[in-house]
A and B are shown apart, each in its own frame.
Chain A
Amino acid sequence: MRYYLSLAFGLLAMGSAFAQTDYDVAKIPDNLKKDAVMVVRNEESFFDVKGLGSARMDFKVAMTILNKAGEEYSEMAEVYDKFSSIYNIKATLYDATGKKIKDYKSSDIKDQSLISDFSIFEDNRLKLLKFVSVNYPYTIEYSYSQDYNGILYFPSWRDIKGFGVSVEKSSYTIQKAKNYKMRYLTSRNLQTDSVIIGEKVQYKWKSANVAAVASEPLSTGIDNISAWVKASPNQFEYDGSSGNFDNWQNFGSWLYNLNQGGNKLPEATKLMVQNLIKDAKTPKEKIRILYNHLQQNTRYVSVQLGIGGFRPILAEKVAQVNYGDCKALSNYMKALLNEAGIASNLIVIGNDMPSLNPNYSSMGQANHMILCVPMPKDTTFLECTSQYKPMGFVGYSNSDRNVLMVTENGGKIVHTPAYNPKENYQIRKTKITLAEDGTASSEIRSTYGNAQFEENFSMTLMEPVELRKRIIEDSPIPVAELTSYKYLQPDKTVPVLTEEINFKTNPILTKGGDKLFLVVIQINRRESVPLKVENRKTYFAVPFGYNDDDEISYILPKGYNVEFLPKDITITSEFGSYTAKFSVKDNTIVYNRTQTMNNKKYAPEKYGEYVDFYKKIYQADKQKAVLAKTL
């Protein structure tokens, strides 16, 4: 992932002072203990907006860790940087009866740098304290204040922090001047209380007595079962910059202006561009040449400091060093195209994040930047941090979502290309020649497209020894001897990968009395069924839509014939479709299997049907043919 916002993580909201200090675990209602690993006893966040560029958060939380499974919550890990210092930290540990065990000293709190693994440098730091208790349950309590010097977005708030968490009480208050403009989004049915106190307005949201939900597979998140608030300023000031976020158009204008003058190129680079494209006839060809140049000559290096987390490094600079983060590389590519007379726009995008909400503009919905080259017919999107992606292929984590296009007239919401299940294909033909001892020689030929191309692309970059190991380890058919293998991207401009693997197998026919048994689907077999979930609460989805198409031919050992062959099967549901076809001709069994999965989001109550769908596939996939000796 190539993120570009330096601190776009939804910081937990933070609060005021506690009245209650009775943390006796016996006082937790039973309904809050059920399925819970941790109970939020009380959480209070109080965010006081003092001006355009200044605010203070007072945060206080008490959590009861019920058992070992809840231990991940037994810490304070708060992020800060030079624009948001943390002070006044207090932390206390209580036993199960609510008796204080100890107050932590400031020397117990660790201070360390926090640099994401994709960056080489950032200015984020962490205040870290691990609470430790020998016995369960126990209660931890901590509080701190944080001063914001510059505000891009307000801390967000959510009552339950995840599966297995229940809440006794939690609240979030934002205090601001009457004339200070802000916007907010809340979960459905969450009540907003507002009071006017002199020149100030307070908005308050609260939640109480929320039971825990046990972890659910394939969940798309806990948005529909939790109470939450997201809030954003309209006007803002941050690290010497100011702007207006009240809609995406203004947001885009701010980014456009931030980048003014960043598009210049050194003379030598201009010459190089002209030289590269001198024989190119069409704009498309020019784009291809310049994108290829970018991929061959630059690498991704991320440094995120203050406003530099939002403003691309000058194109001139990138031309000198040939590296940069997603913003720098996208902006540099834009400059190269500009020199070739092709207009393009920077795109702010949430990589592996939900679509931008068209009706609510705020910082924190995006983490990445790509480039868009608008064309009358086929508008092209370019992922500039990848040295390998074919031109125009933005990858699954960028596809099919609302993004912000930055134009001279401000921001505009556009949509990235979608790859449908049929396009994310895996087409495979396998020939298996069986010997009487049950071993076989196997020839596999596969083609992968789009999302499946992406999934398997790393195979082309592996060293031969490692690749060999990997193929043997991953092969669903036990490999006795790997004779040859090849991964190829036949056309570098198209997201299609081919695979050829030839090997001798360990026995795949199993004996049973005088018969031989053959699991007809040897590759791509479904080996388990997802567990049922009683009374599911959250929505679910498969990770991506795809289409798998297998044909396997088995050439039988001499002297054997087919005694039993499974029947053809077709299964269809709203989740996808499946077919299996079996036929025998002479001494060959031909098996055809197709599976197409949709990538929609499904309502919780549909999960039972989803499990049934997979159960049918599982049963179909484990069918066996029986071979018998001809007399």
Chain B
Amino acid sequence: MQKNALKFLTLMLCIGVGSLYAQTGQNVKREFKFGKIAPAEFETKVSGADSSASAVKLFDVGECYFEISPSSSGFIYVFERHIRYKILNKNGYDLANFKVELYKSSGSAKEDLNYMDAATYNMVDGKMVTSKLNKDAKFTEEFNKNYVIKKFALPNVKEGSIIEFKYRIKSDFIFTLRGWKFQSSVPTLWSEYNVRIPEYFNYKTNMSGYYQVDHPLHQNVNASYIAGVSSNAVYDKYCVANIPALKDEPYVTTMDDYNPKIEFELRATNFPGDVYHDYNGSWSKIINELAQDENFGAYINKNSYAKSVLPGILKGEKDTLATVKLIFNYVKNNVKWDKHYSKYSDATNPKTLFEKKTGSSGDINLALLSLLKEAKIEAYPVLISTRENGMHPGYPLISAFNNVIAVTQIGNQLYFLDATDKDLPAGMLDYENLSHQGYYMDFKTFNGKWLSTEPSIASEKIFVYNMVLDKEHKLSGKINQYSKGYSALNLRNKYRKTNNETEFIKDLKKDKTGLEVSAYKIDNLDNLDELLSESMDVVIEDNVEEAGNLVYFTPLLFERTKENLFKLEERKFPVDFAYPFKESYRITVNFPEDYEIDKLPKGGIYKLPEENGTFTINYISEGKTLMIKSTINVNKSFYTPEEYFDLKELFKAVVEKQAEQIVFKKKG
């Protein structure tokens, strides 16, 4: 398991830099002055894949530096941004409506929009006409108690207009600084971020994405923060020229993982006359901090609630796995997830959660750990960055995590525990948490390490059809379906979300024209560790056809894969399914005496290199019985862009082979 995670990390770190846009190497000194537009900027054109882009970002320049707040006398950071676009067509008009989000805490700490200017420029009869942002086109939306959104709408925007925005934010929140994304939905000619960090601060920087960002400057510069005290800052410049638009692709974690970006999190402060403060600078520091955090380690340690309920839950149970499951089920059955991810608890005592009966993933899974601890089970928190949150860079960066789960080892087996979904059995994580790895922490030894979260059991679905074909071309018989892993999880979720079984069967029949179902039965709906199985009696019309004296049908009936999942010609990014999956079909048909099989299709096996995926189909006939077996096996959760073509070919074979008809000849 551990090996897997490492392999994955390596893969993510040696991301290549391929691009049609060569670095132009124009080292012309660029000038970014508000309102100063060079006539040539109106002539900007785009080419290649972006030739009909809605707009082009002429430049996007950011500054991030520190100053002393006159009100608090502490350090705050200043973020300045200056963006200029050329609007190429009407699809780009939305860029002229701009917004800035500002955060405020429940205390007095907040962010202010300290300066804002914006304008539209149009070429009219060879002369540039400037339209400034109107006063009545500025709006303040009090979104909720933590967020204020400032909104702006620029006047006189047309095809060919140049628009620009420049603003400055002053922020009290210096633990994480505003990062920078170098790519956007429109092509960018120039993007740069200049960061000046006082010598008193040390930040971890996280650069990620599928595009090379230049780092031409890293130097000490003079900076004066307090009158009369001279000091230094470290000045870094990051930039990129001519970067194409970032376009969505399916089967990814989040597109943000592919956008070249830089993020900052405070590692340490070192003020003259003060001791060196380490803020999560290393894994051991992070583990130490979390172990004591009242919304993390100290929360787990509060045992009054656990003490009061454990005897009733365990009733003397001694077996470790059984104990874990009893506690796990207790938490799942007594609190409901509020659909928010958090790596911290909201309250400071698990008792609050069980009173409220609802909470975030942090509340729930840390409370689970609290109960397990009190029951003397060796269980540990595992920090996760969900798929939506994006890939964690791998080095000590607490802000890149947004969720926590638990893990326990019983015998040689690791069990991941996530109590946010009643239908998740011990050992299984839901789709969002399948980001390949999580960071495990031991609060006794203060050790931690990355663990692979790759699912150990594949998701599997088995279809068994036993049919009799009559001369009216009606198929009747029994269907059995078995679901394991994620197939089972999805089926349970769907079943519970449906009002009643009648509605469920309606839904089941929806895209299966000709199917009539009776005696539907589902077993092990609530026994998560058992095979989820469905059975039903069916009559199928409209699927066997006649042409002259020929009678024919596609034997996989409703389970035939009709379309290739992978139709696109090229793929830039890896295919990330989250989990491997397998589908198998076994179909038996008894046909009438006076029918003869004309000629059976050929069976076959199709394999990806290294057996990373297989497809098989086989036909057997004996007397008046025909049997078809087929399996699709996608063995990995993660395929490189190069492997995409293999996947595409595999599924092409699936679609083609499964479409082949069985043909009967009528005698006489």
Q: Which residues of A contact B (CB under 8 A)?
A: 35-37, 67-70, 101, 110-113, 115, 120-121, 130, 132-134, 164, 214-215, 296-297, 299, 301, 303, 320-323, 387-388, 461, 463-466, 468-469, 472-473, 478-479, 481-482, 506-507, 510-515, 517, 527-529, 531, 563-564, 566, 615, 618-619, 622-626
Contacts and interface: CB of A to CB of B under 8 A. Distances in A.
Contacts of A101: 357
Given A510-B660, A512-B660, A473 B567 contact: yes
Contact of B143 (A112, A303, A481, A528): A112
B481 to A, nearest CB: 20
B269 interface: no
B358 interface: yes
24 contacts: A69-B499, A69-B503, A112-B143, A134-B335, A214-B502, A303-B153, A321-B155, A321-B156, A323-B157, A387-B90, A463-B49, A463-B53, A472-B568, A473-B568, A507-B656, A510-B660, A512-B660, A512-B662, A513-B663, A515-B663, A517-B552, A527-B513, A564-B550, A626-B550
A321 B134 contact: yes
B143 to A, nearest CB: 5
A85 B144 CA distance: 17
Nearest to A476: B563
A113 B142 contact: yes
Given A112-B143, A321-B137, A35 B500 contact: yes
B548 A132 contact: no
A297 B155 CA distance: 10
Nearest to B87: A299
Task: Say whether chain A's binding surface is mostly helix, strand, loop, or mixed.
Answer: mixed
Contacts of B659: 507, 510
A147 to B, nearest CB: 20
Contacts of B513: 527-529, 615, 618
Contact of A624 (B334, B335, B547): B547
Contacts of A301: 97, 153
A164 B134 contact: no
Given A68-B497, A115-B141, A478-B563, A465 B247 contact: yes
Contacts of B600: 513
Chain B CB within 10 Å, residue with most, of A36, A321, A464 = A321
Contacts of A130: 338
B90 A214 contact: no
Given A120-B97, A297-B158, A531-B509, 8 more contacts: A68-B497, A121-B139, A132-B336, A134-B336, A322-B155, A473-B568, A515-B663, A626-B547
B132 to A, nearest CB: 11
Given A323-B153, A624-B547, A120 B134 contact: no
Interface string B489-506: 000000011111011001
B49 A465 contact: yes
A468 B554 CA distance: 31
Contacts of A37: 499
A581 B147 CA distance: 63
Nearest to B134: A321
Q: List the 10 closest A-B pairs by CB distance, nearest first.
A: A512-B661, A513-B599, A321-B155, A513-B598, A132-B358, A512-B663, A564-B547, A121-B139, A112-B144, A69-B499
A502 B145 CA distance: 55
B96 interface: yes
Nearest to B600: A513
A111 B510 contact: no
A478 B564 contact: yes
Contacts of A531: 506, 509-510
B511 A528 contact: yes
Interface in B317-366: 333-336, 338, 357-358
Chain B CB within 10 Å, residue with most, of A388, A510, A514 = A510
B215 interface: no
Interface of B: 49-54, 89-91, 93, 96-97, 131, 134, 137, 139, 141-145, 149, 151, 153, 155-159, 245, 247, 333-336, 338, 357-358, 496-500, 502-503, 506, 509-513, 542, 545, 547-548, 550, 552, 554, 563-564, 567-569, 598-601, 652, 655-656, 659-663
Contacts of A479: 567
A511 B601 contact: yes
A321 B497 CA distance: 49
Contacts of A624: 545, 547, 552
Contacts of B338: 130, 132
Nearest to B511: A528
Contacts of A303: 139, 153
B24 to A, nearest CB: 22
A431 B336 CA distance: 58
B540 to A, nearest CB: 13
Contacts of A120: 97, 139, 151, 153
Contact of B548 (A36, A469, A481, A564): A564
A266 B600 CA distance: 81
A466 B336 CA distance: 41
Contact of A517 (B50, B53, B335, B661): B661
Contacts of A481: 569
A329 to B, nearest CB: 13
B171 to A, nearest CB: 22
A115 B97 CA distance: 15
A461 B91 contact: yes
Contacts of B548: 563-564, 626
A622 B336 contact: no
B124 to A, nearest CB: 11
A73 to B, nearest CB: 12
Contacts of A215: 503
B496 A133 contact: no
Contacts of B53: 463
B542 A619 contact: yes
A134 B333 contact: yes
Nearest to B146: A112
A321 B512 CA distance: 55
A625 to B, nearest CB: 8
Given A134-B335, A506-B652, A531-B509, A512 B155 contact: no
Contacts of B134: 320-321
Contacts of B54: 463
B268 to A, nearest CB: 36
Contacts of B141: 113, 115, 121
Given A132-B336, A465-B247, A506-B656, A113 B503 contact: no
Given A512-B662, A531-B510, A110 B144 contact: yes
A478 B49 contact: no
Given A464-B52, A528-B513, A113 B144 contact: yes
B193 to A, nearest CB: 27
Chain A CB within 10 Å, residue with most, of B335, B513, B545 = B513
B499 A214 contact: yes
Nearest to A300: B93
A241 B357 CA distance: 49
